[in-house]
Every structure is written in C-alpha cells, then in structure tokens.
Structure 1
Amino acid sequence: MTLAACSTGSGTGADPDSTAKELTPERISIVIPAESALFWDIYVAEAEGFFDEFAVEAEITLTPGPAATLAALVGGAADVGTPFAEQGLAAIEKGAPLSIFAGQSNTILVSIVGSPGFEDADSLRGQKVASSNVDDTATILLEEWLEDEGADPDDIDKIIVGSSGQRYQALQSGAVVAATLTAPTDQLAIRSGFPLIEEISLPGVLTAHFGTDSFLENRPHAAVRYTKAIQKAVDWLLDPANKERAIEILVERAEVDQVDAEMTYDLYLSEDVFIAGSPIELELVGTALGYLEKTNRVEGSPDPADYVTAEILTGANE
C-alpha cells in the first residue's frame, strides 16, 4: 500500500521533534496474541515512557492467540497488531485490509520441547504434539525437522493450541507429549525438566507490526509516532546498560522467573531478533511468503513489497 508523505505531526504542521506537550495525543489500540518476549519492544515502549514521549495513548489488549489478534484487526476493533507474520500475510492475500508498517522479530526462534521419554523424532510417532496452527511457520518447521530426521510428519497428531504458554500447559498436563514453544516459555519448560528436542533458529519474519489500512491511510502521523516510539524502545532494549531493567519488564509482563528472562535476553540479543530502526526486511518477508507457498496459501512468486507500507518507516526516519 502506498501513502502520501507523512510525518509525526498532528496535521497542524507540528515539528517532528516536538515534545509530547506540543502534540495532540493519539489513542492507538494495539492487540498482541500472547505475553511473550516477541513483543518486548511494545512492553518497553510502554514501561519506559516512549509512547508518552511521542504523545501516543497506547491501549494494549491481550487476545487469546494469533487468530483472535487478526480478527480484532480485520474487524476494526484495533489499529495495530502483532500476529505471526505468515498468518498476517495469508490474511492480506485473502483480502484483509492490513499491511506491515514496521519490523519486529527478524529471527525465527522455535524450540521443540518434549516430555521425559519423548526426546527425538522417532519417539513422537503416533503421539500428540501441540503447535499454534495447522500450517503456520512453527508447524512447517516442525514438519521439516521430522522429515530431516527420517520421520513422516503425518505420523504425528498435531494439536492446535493458541499461545506458547497454553502449549506448555498442555505439555505439563500430559495432553501432548511435545510442543513448539517460544521464549521465555521454552526456557521455563527446559529448566523445569522437559527435554529440549530441537532448537530452530533461522532468518525470517516471525512477527511484525501490522496496521489496518484505515489506520495507516487516515492517521499516518499517528502510525509514524507509534513507530518512533517502537524504534526508541528497540534502541533502548539493545543497549546492554539497560539489561537489568529490560529483564525486569519481561518478568512483570510475561510473569516468568528472573532466570528465564535473563536467558531469553541473552538469546534474543545473540540471535539479533530485534534490529535497530525496526526495519522491514523485504527478503525476510519473502521467506515468510515462501512458507505460504508451501501450504498453497499464495500462488506464484508474490512481491513482498505488496504486503508492506514503507512510507511509515520513511516518515519515522526523517
């Protein structure tokens, strides 16, 4: 989607460097699918006052999972959301009025964690394994790993469970013998005695900041302010001097132990999950589209730029 030039102003010619006191506050409704380290940039922007700095009144709502996050966006109940990228892209392909306007998680990190006694691909044959969607990135990577290990993906019974936390609960209860988990839940599971079967780390867009077309077209100045706050939050998060406070924020929001948050922080920085400037890496968007091609949710070789509104980042970087 292409927009006219936009700035941080409120439509009254405000200077991009104006303080929050000089800007008309913009209320932005944000939906996230889980309390997870994937959304650390949003947590930091709220906790450290970066939304306030750019006169953004952030209304953050936790949904039951990625599908509910998309439903809120498509239904007009939210302006911005952070679903799993391939689910958002699939929705756009079906005509959903959405677009990626800022980057978020630029590394796909997924852990396959099992119950004691179920610690390799062969042991999962005929067993129930939890993942977040039938054909999402984590499930595709799970199936590819099974094939690499000489197992048939059709030999496992995939159970769809919305969030990483809910999948861990299913693992704890014995409802499944393995699950795809993301940080910090995977760290908690492993530390609690559930064996790590496989850790997957690949370049790719796992989550991104999606906006509704209505929001991006009618309130681009608000989207730019939101993006500036997120960019400042990422810069802050990447500064080792803020490690202790960053971990504290994750502990508070994701309700995880200190040690799990510390391990997640080190993992995320070492794997370059967040990138300064929150860029949209079109090559990585293309990787996500490639997963959609594998599951026949897009045809041909779609142009990643068609799923992106680049003008918001341009405005934020001016």
Structure 2
Amino acid sequence: MTKLTRRTFLALTAAAAAVAKPGLVRAAQPLNVSVVLGNAMHWVQFIAAEKGMYKDEGFDAKLLVMQGSASSVQMAISGEYQLATTQPETFVSAVEQGASEIAAMSAPANKADWVLVGSRGVTSIEQLKGRQIGLSGLRNSESWLTTRLLEAKGLKKGDYSFIIAGTSPAKAAALEKGGIGAAVLFQPSAEFAIKQGLTPLASFEDMRAYPTVFYIVKKSWAGADENGMRSSRALQKAYSWLWDPANRAEAIRILGVYTKRDTAILEPVYDDYFVKQQFYSKTGKIDLAGFKTVLDDMAEDGQAFKTAPAPAKFILDAKLGGLAT
C-alpha cells in the first residue's frame, strides 16, 4: 500500500478542488423564471426549483411573478428573464415583429385545462345569452377556443360578449360579485370556485390539441455554456418526477405552497393532470400539430399575419435544448 504523504494529500486536495470549482461556479449562475404562482400549469417549474433539478444542472433558479405575457416576452428579450412564460400568440407576434432572438423551448401541456364557470345563479350555457364572459385576453387562444366551445354548445357570436377580467383569481372574484355571467378559469382557481358553489358550465378537455403556454429563451443564452441543454434536462427530470405516482402527495404539497390552495382543492387537479384526463405533458415537448393550429387561428384572426408561417420558425433547435415533436 502506498503511503499517503502530506505532499500527496495536498496534491489530491488541489485536484479535487479543481474538479469541483466549475460546479461551484455553475451553482451561482442565475436563472430567472417567470411564472404565474397561482396557476397549476407551472407545476413543473415549482418542482424543478423545489426538488433541486435546476440546482443539479448548475443554476440558482428564482421563480418570479410575471405581470402578463407581453411583459414576460419583453423581459426575455432584454435578458431579465432567462426562461420566460408566455401565451403562444404573444410570443409569435413578437417574433413576427422582429424579435427573432427568442424561441420556444417547451410546453407544460398541449391541451387546455380550463373550465367555463358560471357566476352565482348561472347554471346553464343558455343563461349566458346577453351576458359578458370574462377572459384574460380578447385576441388569443382563450377567446378563440371559447368561441368554438360555445358554438358547439349552441351559442353563436352575438349571443354573448367577451370582456377582459384579468387573471383567474380576479375572474373568480368577478363571478362572485355577479358582474359577469361566466369566466374561463385556469386551475386550481376553477376547482376552488366550484367548491365554493359556482357551476362548471363546460370544460375544454375535449377540444383539439392546443398548447396554451410556452417556455421561451433567447437563442444566444441557450447556446452559451450549454444553458439551453442544462435547463431542458432539468425540466425533463421535473416532468418525469411529476408523473411518478409515488410522488403524488409531495407534488400536491409543493403545489399548495405556491398556489396557496388546500389539498382538497388540489387533489382533483392532480387527478385530471396525471390520472384521468392526463392533461399534463410527460416530456415537455411542444406538439407541432397543435402549435400549427394556433398559427392557423392567428392567420384567421389576421392581426399578426394572413398566412400562417411554419411552426419550425419559432422552435428552439434541439441542439440548444428545444423540445418539440
């Protein structure tokens, strides 16, 4: 056996420190992620931060409250957010207006988990005639999908009107006051409203594939120091962790920390995401067919463009960490 001398010990210590040093540098690398804390759709981000997936990839992740898709996209372009949340329509419009340095990395779901909830006393779709319906935006997927949903239920354009009512918590408050006839609520606000006695009028679960949220990055950031690949790996680990039934109780507990909702509210959301309807993505990959539908709807709307561009124009290259199928 070789005798461990002081000189040998110091040499081994120095070598170990040299190996560890890059990891220590990476651990301090900032990763600002914009999310809506009260929205269960960002479950994967909560897990990636809480369970150390980002830390394992060398990031010091901070989840920051976004003020809306437009500001989130602007913060991504400026570099204030390294990983930003946005509705696809806002992001696509920005790229079409020249922001070609940003690209979509991942989508937490490729179907809408929304529920159309009636205000106090409104218990049927027919009662929405002549009433206002609260949305978060008027020229986005929420508006277009709700229009199609109502058409399938027998209501035509002109039978009702849309009004911007803010985020889901604000929409839920408006429902309680009776200022609007119904609102499109995201989870877990929808489940909370239903538990409070409001009536679910329709869900979007049977609608076509349609990614409603993108996580976007700057291409230059993604290509530097393997940032895109490392953050992509962290997200994929978080998606996989969420889908493991053994993690159900802890996943619900973590979601409760961020959404401030009780377990009884969150358990049905978990079941819809991962057991019954299985809304949530297993890999974070963007469904290109569903994204094409978004672009086709935008072309029909006509504000951003008249002819839908190819989805590939907006997707982060797989070599930089892009997730698409």
Answer yes or no: is 1:305 the counterpart of 2:308: no
Deviations 1:85-108 (A, max 9, x none): 232223222223421022322222
**Structure 2 residue 88 is matched with structure 1 residue 82:** no
Q: Distance in 2 between matches of 1:261 and 1:20?
A: 40
1:166 aligns with 2:173: no
Alignment of 1:44-193 (within 5 A): 44-96=47-99, 97-193=101-197
- The code of the aligned residue for 2:23 comes to K
1:229–1:245 CA distance, 2 compared to 1 (3 A): same
Partner residue, 2:247: 242
Q: Percent identity?
A: 24
Alpha-carbon distance in 2 for matches of 1:34, 1:177:
26
Q: Structure 1 residue runs of 4+, over 4 Å off?
A: 312-316
SS for the counterpart of 1:129 is strand
Deviations 1:1-43 (A, max 9, x none): xxxxxxxxxxxxxxxxx99836623212211245211100000
Task: Please say which structure displays the higher CA radius of gyration.
Answer: 2
The 1:279/1:220 distance shift into structure 2, 3 A limit, reads farther
TM superposition shift of 1:121: 3.1
Q: Secondary structure at the match of 2:155?
A: coil
TM-score (norm: length of structure 2): 0.84
SS in structure 2 at match of 1:139: helix
Question: 2:35, 2:64 within 8 Å by CA — same for their partners in 1?
Answer: yes
Conservation of the 8 A alpha-carbon contact between 2:117 and 2:182: yes
CA RMSD in angstroms, aligned pairs only: 2.4
Deviation by residue 1:113-156 (Cα, 9 ceiling, x = unmatched) = 00233233332122221101002112111111222333233342
Stretch deviating more after TM superposition (84-93 or 41-50): 84-93
For structure 1, the residue ranges without an aligned partner over 5 or more in a row are: 1-17
Residue 21 of structure 1 is matched in structure 2 by 23
| Structure 2: tracts of 5 or more residues without a match | 1-19
For 1:213-253, what per-residue CA distance to the aligned partner results, in whole angstroms no more than 9, with x for missing partners?
Answer: 44234x26112211111111111000000000000011110
Q: How many residues align?
A: 299
Change (3 A) 1:168 1:206: same
Q: Are the equivalent residues in 2 in contact too, given 1:33–1:68 (CA < 8 A)? A: no
Structure 1 counterpart of 2:59, one-letter code:
V
Alpha carbons of 1:37 and 1:72: their partners in 2 closer, same or farther (altered >3 Å)? same
CA contact (8 A) 2:316 2:322 kept: no
Q: More strand per residue: 1 or 2? A: 1
CA gap 1:212/1:283 in 2 versus in 1, 3 angstroms:
same
Q: Structure 1 residues 19 and 314, CA, compared in 2 at 3 Å: closer, same or farther? A: farther
Match of 2:7 in 1: none
Structure 1 CA distance, aligned partners of 2:79 and 2:200?
Answer: 40
- TM superposition shift of 1:167: 1.2
1:79 and 1:118, CA in 2 relative to 1: closer, same or farther beyond 3 A? same
Tell whether the 8 Å contact from 2:120 to 2:175 is kept in structure 1 after alignment: no
The corresponding residue for 2:13 is: none
Letter in 1 for 2:62: E
Aligned residue identity for 1:271: Q
1:206 aligned counterpart, secondary structure: coil
